[in-house]
Amino acid sequence: MNVATILRNIVPYYETVMVIPQESKPNNLVQTIERVSLILDILGQNPHGISIRDLSAKVSLPKGTTHRLLSSLSFLGYVRQDSKTRNYLLGFKLVELGNLLLGQLDLRKEAEPFLKELAERTKETVHMVVLDRNEIVYIDKVEGDHNPSGLRMASRIGLRNPAHSSAVGKVLLSLFSDEALNHFLGKIKLTKRTENTVTDPALLKEHLKVVRHQGYAIDDEENEKGVRCVGAPIYNEAGNAVAAVSISGPAFRVTKKLVQEIFKKEVMETALKISQRLGYRERS
């Protein structure tokens, strides 16, 4: 599969997930990235590889500039060089990224009916997120019908939020090893989103122990004032948490009592159903 084909498959997904607007070429397009994209396209069109001289001619760049770009791409795994012909080919990092993308596409496809059913049953908004670069990213959202106040949350597909202040983020963090959690806490600042946000690392660690034991997390107006959420993790066939699902709504309607009596069970059951569709089997 060449790069052009890969991009044709990727673009529809990112138009949905990342909400990329359809527009003409931007004036602030980074020239280096544009050149790299062209190089990858040309390598994809040459399955047996291409010499640096021919590649330089095709991208209309000096040989030295092309070599510097190829050296960086080779170091990062996006490009490789045949030891015999010295020709350049696409690297295996692209296969890794492609597999990750396909995994996310499969996740959304498999989860969609369960997310819709959960939103229909609870009448509230349902989210699905993944953890990426120490933040959560919303990859799906289903609006509930119960919205007499006209209230709309700030969440949208493609939006990023801190992990420590959201139910979905906390439930994923709770599954980190001690070493991974310490590394996470050492890299980020626990920003205070509302007056309820936990910003003390020691307190957050203790809270996450409780979350891990109970199997769900609650965002008690910690990320967005006036909004309460409850989330549970989604596992793959290897037993690794790959995403999380949540029920969210205005705090005056999604009360603490409702969360404890109904919603926590609903979100955990939905998360389990999605996990099972991904091949997960609970250990006895």
Average pLDDT by stretches of 10, the chain with 284 residues: 42 35 60 92 93 95 95 95 94 84 78 96 95 90 70 73 96 95 93 96 97 97 95 93 96 96 97 94 74
CATH class of the region 102-277: alpha beta
- For CATH 1.10.10.10, the residue range(s) in the chain are 3-91
Give the per-residue pLDDT at 18: 33
> Are β-strands 135-142 and 217-220 bridged in parallel, bridged antiparallel, or unpaired?
unpaired
CA angle 17, 235, 140 (to 5 degrees): 20
pLDDT of residue 95: 84
What per-residue confidence (pLDDT) applies to 19? 33
Q: For the chain, what's the residue count?
A: 284
C-alpha–C-alpha distance, residues 15 and 7, integer Å: 12
CATH label, 3-91, candidates 1.10.10.10, 1.10.1040.10, 3.40.190.10, 3.90.226.10: 1.10.10.10
Query: What is the rounded distance in angstroms from the CA atom of residue 244 to the CA atom of residue 223?
Result: 16
- 231 - beta bridge partners? 217, 246
User: What per-residue confidence (pLDDT) applies to 151?
Assistant: 55
pLDDT of residue 277: 92
DSSP-derived secondary structure letter, 25: P
H-run or E-run covering 227: strand 227-235
Question: How many C-beta neighbours within 10 Å does residue 228 have?
Answer: 27
Q: pTM for the complete prediction?
A: 0.66
b or e along 128-141 (b: 16 or more beta carbons within 10 Å of the residue's beta carbon)? bbbbeebbbbbbbb
Q: Where in the chain is the domain with CATH 3.30.450.40?
A: 102-277
pLDDT score of 66: 95
pLDDT, position 9: 42
